[in-house]
Chains A and B, each alone.
Chain A
Amino acid sequence: MSAGIIAAPRAAQPPRGLALAFAFAAALLLVFIVLPLANLYASQSGAALARVAAMAEVRSAIGLSLAAALATTACAALLAIPLAYLLARSAFPGKPVVEAIVDLPLAVPHTVVGIALLFVFGRTGIVGAPLEQWTGIKFWGTAAGIVVAMLYVSVPYAVNAARVGLEGVDDRLEKVARTLGAGRWAVFFRITLPLASRGILTGLALTFARSVSEFGAVIVLTYYPMTAPVKIYDLFLQSGLGDSSAMAALFLAITLSLFIASRYLFRERREPGPTPAR
């Protein structure tokens, strides 16, 4: 996340034995992360990739995943920024409880999330039933259901990263802006939001990444229409590892390139010049 917000003092050179041991552990971890993904590509044939890429169901599943994750990210932006602002700027009783609630989705198994959401947003759910009756919006077996499942599991990332970004905005800038004639809303949109934008965008990129990769919560609430992870699972059940691993490689290529692009776009820009003193 936004590593630049807290500038850690450079630590002293660690002793040689420690440095070696840590470097070994670090290398092991990096290999552990990268090897399975690299191997996934190594074991694919071009023909298999082309075959799954030509399948209409595969294409629509990938399209649905990306569209739903994008919609989720938009919802997260609208819902997470106000909460992040309150957490960053005000002290109120019960704040630790609110912070714990925000992190709660990270601790709940995703299939449990799906089942819990089903009871609320399903056809007979306490929110789902009246909503369907009054507005016709259904959450069971629809794109709306996918978005609800994705949002539940990914929104902590949006709130926490936006909060870090907002906390980094010097409140004296906001005060000065008010004395220059800007009301609270104008200060928020012209000063606070632009200055916190990197933290917020980092959070939204994580939200998107988490949403697009969600499987457990989505499959319980919405098996059809299939998102890409569900379709990969479906291919695995129907035709074994061949097609499912080819689609996995294809989908991974798309999400990884989005991930890398966002890392590049929201990276810390190091420029010479003094940093503002607090």
Chain B
Amino acid sequence: MTAHRLAVERLSLRVGAFALSGITFTVAAGEVLVILGPSGAGKTLLLETIAGFNRPDGGRISIDGEDVTAAPPEARRIGFMVQDYALFPHLTVAQNVAFGRRFGAASADAGTVEALLERLGVKHLADREPKHLSGGEKQRVALARALAASSRLLLFDEPLAALDAHSRGQLRRDLKDFLRRASVPAVYVTHDQSEALALADTIAVMREGSLAQVGTPSAIFNTPADAAVAEFVGVETVIEGKVVAVADGVARIDVGGRFVHAAGILTPCVGASVLACIRPEDVALAASPQSRSSVRNQFPARVIATEPAGPLFKITLDCGFPLVAYVSKQSYLELDLANRGEAVASVKATAVHLIAR
């Protein structure tokens, strides 16, 4: 398969009082860009404009270098995944997958309908009606349907939003597996931060019709571009790392020379890329290392900044990686954090939440 690439340049569109403006990003083949933003930010409008349902007022959209700004949706060869995946209820699974075929959009490299059903593990469902499928099966059939039409870009508009938390997690993992192996760029719209962290190679934070920040998940969460992004994504520390060892259910994660230990429900395999997430209220600060402590993670840190945050104080630390802690007023005064340049941060291994990448 040829590698595909999406480029959006200075896209603008006015709809009533709302406007998309100055939207620029690129997504490479196999890359997942998550557009993260609160509802009303214009995420769906942007996605539907990329799909071709709205003609932008300005800017350019190109796929594989081909300008598609003025092309209708049926000429763009885009897989469009909406909530609950919108399988055609009057057609069987096989007919759903074959739907795009009759319009000449399919090229030889897409493979036969049967081969696609096989590849996605839903061949046994070929003659079923969509209403009898589980959420995971629907997702696979929708992906097969998009591939059968030779889609060179996949767009996702909160496809998992209607599901319960358990199925959502499962489908997210399935989807991530699929997207990692797919050779098409993907744009995924969501308001859910954990979804963004789980799926994104790159996150674009969207607010009031424009992109406030585009960057890696750790860049977005640890170094938000402005107060509004910070407020939306929260203050959770997100660190990229690689699992170097797993023993007794505790994973040792290399985060650029430092090591973080995580014990949780998810025990990843050695070599896996993960995001380690630490909530600021789970970080404790001390003046010196606690030698008899059972806490696995102890990081000598430089104090970068302190600021009051409600009844607590928010302390920004540099441990070789960025870390944010909330401490009580009492600790703040005892440790004299206002004047002290250094402290030891400790985090229980069970408080480190891992997201597989």
B100 touches A180 (CB 8 A): yes
* Interface status of B269 (Cβ within 8 A of chain A): no
Per-residue B-contact encoding for A165-187, CB less than 8 Å = 1, 0 else: 00000101101111111110010
Interface residues on A, range: 20 to 34
A window 148-194: CB within 8 A of B? 170, 172-173, 175-183, 186, 190-191, 194
CB atoms of B74 and A182 under 8 A apart: yes
For the complex of A and B, list the 8 residue pairs with the smallest distance between their C-beta atoms, beginning with the closest: A181-B103, A181-B105, A180-B100, A179-B80, A178-B73, A273-B131, A180-B149, A172-B82
> Which among B33-41, B83-91, B292-300, B302-310 touches the partner chain?
B83-91
Contacting pair B72 A180 (CB below 8 A): no
Chain A residues, CB < 8 A from B51? 175, 179
A275 at the interface (CB under 8 A from B): yes
Residues of chain B lying within 8 A (CB to CB) of residue A173: 86, 88-89
**What 0/1 pattern do residues 202 to 233 of B give for CB contact below 8 A with A?**
00000000000000000000000000000000
Interface residues of B (CB under 8 A from A): 48, 51-53, 72-74, 76-80, 82-84, 86, 88-90, 99-100, 103-105, 131-132, 145-146, 149, 151, 155, 162
Q: Chain A 263-276, CB within 8 Å of chain B: the 1/0 string?
A: 00000000101111
Interface residue A27 (Cβ < 8 Å from any Cβ of B) = no
15 inter-chain pairs at a CB distance below 8 angstroms, sorted by A residue, are A173-B88, A175-B73, A176-B86, A177-B99, A178-B52, A178-B73, A178-B74, A179-B151, A180-B145, A181-B100, A181-B149, A182-B100, A183-B72, A183-B74, A276-B131
Tell me if A195 counts as interface (CB < 8 A to partner B). yes
Structural contact, A275 and B131, CB atoms closer than 8 A = yes
Name the distance in Å between B298's Cβ and chain A's nearest Cβ: 48
A182 to B72 CA separation, bound complex (whole angstroms):
10
Contacts A273-B131, A273-B132 given: A179-B74 contact, CB under 8 Å?
yes
| Contact of A179 with B88 in the complex, beta carbons under 8 Å | no
- Chain B residue with Cβ nearest A170: B86
- In the docked arrangement, what's the CA distance between A182 and B77, Å? 10
Q: Measured between alpha carbons, how far is A34 from B99 in the docked complex, in Å?
A: 49
Q: Which residues of B contact A271 (CB under 8 A)?
A: 131
Assuming the contacts A172-B82, A191-B88, A277-B83, asked whether A180 and B99 have C-beta atoms less than 8 A apart, the reply is: yes
